[in-house]
């Protein structure tokens, strides 16, 4: 099976008064973006287009040449398109300039001199954010009353209970800890809480701790000063500073090292942080929402997670039910994803056969909603005809459910492990041995599939 065709290039508008830098940026980004250029704020205003994916603005722009010119252009762009994704850049050393940009709605702030590779990473993230916003808006428009809560889809009692809990906790400033297996939608829950809070118009900053090497986690969270380590060519704010006034969502918090846990605890207690390599305290105003798919109390008992930090982040615990506990939501979710991906990939309208609905309803969905979503997208891309039948399903879903059940007496833990191993092996086989692709289909991150492959010797 081949991967889907990559999406089209993004559209970017760059407003920069230095002609040499404009040319440098155009050549550096032309492989990833369709680039439009402007030399001053007025030209930038004239080139505004709601179809633009990302904006890159300098701060000191003609005609005034003042920092306020870039900030005003940022504000005007955000007024004209509330979902506009804007990255600011400047040679200014004043940290307040970066914070002011973020407060006015900038996605990120880049300090000159420009490192093309670093800038491309930032702009690629900005493009992903823009497309996620567009996708979210489309999904909200498609949502049916009584079957969704923002982007969370479900009408089962357990999901209605979760929706009610979100409504109650959102208006407060309480620290929230989300418990849920991988793929259950923890970030969507965090977004729903933020969007109903008094901080809804301020930044929502997310960080997946498990996706970061230990050496980078501290810098990503707390920022760093120029020269703090090899490659730190400029000072950069961390996620705490970027979330000032808003919400910081820290996913897979249980994977943080002991040193970062200690600094996180101090930030929660004092509402101040210090950048890596810095010596001054920086006040930060944030609401923390954490998430984990691990048993943190067990990790506390094992000495792998600080007990005092656990009690800090566990002020309001919310549990997100796995998909197997709400099977009645599976057909609803499947239809939701079917509509989503037929529209996204411009495919004819299709429907799922009764046999397919029965198969997916009986499947345990170890990867939860994310795994179901990937399966439905694959069916949209690779099935033919108006009706998606059982023959279109992946092999793991075509197998009779009894085939994965042990025949003799066995413990629940043993049966779960046997099923997990078979599901993983089938996914790797159907992905042609490419574990990264198998992880994508199962809704696992790279660290999880590495761990499971080591566990089962695959």
The CATH number given to whatever domain includes residue 282 is: 3.40.50.300
**In the structure, what pLDDT confidence band is assigned to residue 1 with cuts at 50, 70 and 90?**
very low
* pLDDT tens profile 321-378: 999 899 999 999 999 999 889 888 888 888 999 999 999 998 989 889 999 999 999 9
**CATH code of the domain containing 332:** 1.10.8.60
**Are the C-beta atoms of residues 48 and 72 closer than 8 Å to each other?**
no
Q: Examine the domain organization and report whether 339 and 421 are in the same domain.
A: yes
Q: CA 87: distance to chain centroid?
A: 18
Which residues on neighbouring strands pair with residue 288, listed in sequence order?
A: 248
Burial 8-24 (b: 16+ CB within 10 A, else e): eebbbbbbbbeeebbee
Q: Is residue 2 part of a domain?
A: no
Q: For the chain, what's the residue count?
A: 458
In total, how many domains does the chain have?
A: 3
Number of H helices, E strands in the chain: 19, 16
Q: Examine the domain organization and report whether 290 and 386 are in the same domain.
A: no
Quote the CA–CA distance of 359 and 353 in Å, as a whole number: 10
- pLDDT score at 19: 93
- pLDDT score at 395: 83
Does this model's pTM top 0.75? My answer is no
Q: Examine the domain organization and report whether 374 and 243 are in the same domain.
A: no
* pLDDT tens profile 3-28: 333 346 899 999 999 999 999 999 98
Q: Examine the domain organization and report whether 334 and 446 are in the same domain.
A: yes
Q: Where are the beta strands (DSSP E) in 102-175?
A: 108-111, 148-149, 152-153
Residues in contact with 144: Cβ distance below 8 Å, sequence separation at least 6, in sequence order: none
Q: Examine the domain organization and report whether 441 and 331 are in the same domain.
A: yes
My answer on whether omega of the bond before 280 falls inside 30° of 0, hence cis, is no
Q: Examine the domain organization and report whether 225 and 113 are in the same domain.
A: no
Q: Is residue 229 part of a domain?
A: yes
* pLDDT tens profile 240-271: 999 999 999 999 999 999 999 999 999 999 99
SS3 373: helix
SS3 314: coil
Which of 321, 340, 360 lies at the terminal end of a domain, its last residue? 321
Q: Is residue 4 part of a domain?
A: no
Q: Give the tokens for residue 250.
A: 């820290």
Q: Examine the domain organization and report whether 49 and 20 are in the same domain.
A: yes
Structural domain containing residue 349: 324-456
Q: Is residue 307 part of a domain?
A: yes
- pLDDT score at 141: 54
Q: Is residue 387 part of a domain?
A: yes
């Amino acid at each position: 099976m081949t991967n889907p065709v990559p999406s089209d290039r993004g559209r970017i508008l760059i407003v920069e008064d230095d002609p040499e830098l404009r040319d440098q940026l155009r050549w550096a980004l032309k492989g990833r973006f369709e680039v439009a250029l402007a030399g001053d704020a007025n030209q930038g205003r004239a080139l505004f287009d709601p179809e633009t994916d990302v904006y890159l603005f300098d701060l000191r722009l003609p005609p005034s040449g003042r920092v306020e010119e870039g900030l005003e252009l940022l504000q005007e762009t955000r007024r004209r398109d509330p979902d506009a994704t804007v990255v600011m850049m400047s040679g200014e050393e004043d940290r307040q300039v970066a914070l002011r940009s973020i407060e006015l709605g900038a996605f990120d702030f880049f300090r000159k001199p420009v490192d093309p590779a670093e800038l491309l990473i930032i702009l690629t993230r900005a493009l992903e954010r823009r497309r996620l916003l567009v996708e979210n808006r489309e999904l909200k428009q498609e949502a049916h009353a009584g079957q969704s809560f923002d982007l969370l889809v479900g009408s089962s009692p357990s999901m209605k209970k979760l929706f009610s809990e979100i409504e109650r906790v959102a208006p407060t400033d309480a620290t929230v800890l989300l418990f849920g297996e991988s793929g259950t939608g923890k970030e969507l829950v965090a977004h729903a809480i933020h969007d109903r809070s008094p901080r809804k118009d301020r930044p929502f900053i997310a960080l997946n701790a498990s996706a970061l090497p230990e050496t980078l986690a501290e810098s990503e969270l707390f920022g760093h000063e120029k020269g703090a380590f090899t490659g730190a060519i400029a000072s950069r704010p961390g996620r705490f500073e970027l979330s000032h006034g808003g919400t910081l969502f820290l996913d897979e918090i249980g994977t943080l090292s002991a040193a970062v846990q200690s600094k996180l605890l101090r930030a929660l207690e004092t509402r101040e942080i210090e950048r890596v390599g810095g010596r001054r305290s920086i006040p930060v105003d944030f609401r923390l929402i954490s998430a984990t798919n691990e048993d943190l109390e067990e990790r506390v008992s094992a000495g792998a997670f600080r007990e005092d930090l656990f009690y800090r982040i566990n002020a309001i615990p919310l549990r997100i039910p796995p998909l197997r506990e709400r099977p009645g939501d599976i057909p609803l979710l499947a239809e939701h994803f079917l509509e989503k991906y037929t529209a996204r990939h411009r495919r004819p309208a299709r429907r799922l056969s009764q046999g397919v609905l029965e198969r997916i309803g009986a499947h345990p969905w170890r990867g939860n909603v994310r795994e179901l979503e990937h399966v439905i997208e694959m069916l949209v891309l690779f099935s033919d005809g108006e009706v998606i039948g059982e023959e279109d399903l992946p092999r793991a879903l075509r197998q009779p459910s009894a085939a994965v059940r042990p025949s003799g007496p066995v413990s629940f833990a043993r049966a779960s492990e046997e099923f997990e191993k078979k599901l993983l092996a089938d996914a790797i086989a159907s992905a042609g041995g490419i574990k990264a692709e198998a992880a994508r289909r199962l809704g696992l991150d790279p660290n999880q599939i590495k761990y499971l492959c080591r566990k089962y010797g695959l």
